Amino acid sequence: MMQFKSQRTTRWVQRAFIVLAAVYGIGLILLLVVRWVIGEQWMVIALLNSGLHLLLMPALVLLPLTILLRRRRLAVLLAPAFVLFVVWYLPLFLPRPVLTLADA
């Protein structure tokens, strides 16, 4: 009897994760499309744009989890947020080149 309850709980947690990740992915895609089309004319978009790096960070964890759970559609939904974070913010985490002076 305990095993049945554990399986049901596991399914419930997995479904909740899928729904929350889908809502997150759809919300981010809508935000990015509205930001691209309208720009920062609306105050809500400007506010969300100022914290966009924080909104994109969960995609770094959610995308690998969705791949492990074999949820292809959800992974495709989260891929734009993952790619944008990597493209926009990866250069900030890379070391800067060291400049050396030439001997004169």
Confidence class for position 69, pLDDT limits 50, 70, 90: confident
Global pTM exceeds 0.85: no
Separation of alpha carbons 62 and 66, rounded Å? 6
3-state SS record for the chain: CHHHHHHHHHHHHHHHHHHHHHHHHHHHHHHHHHHHHHCCCCHHHHHHHHCHHHHHCHHHHHHHHHHHCCCHHHHHHHHHHHHHHHHHHHHHHCCCCCCCCCCC
pLDDT in tens, 72-95: 999 999 999 899 888 988 888 888
Query: Predicted confidence band at 104 (pLDDT cuts at 50, 70, 90)?
Result: low
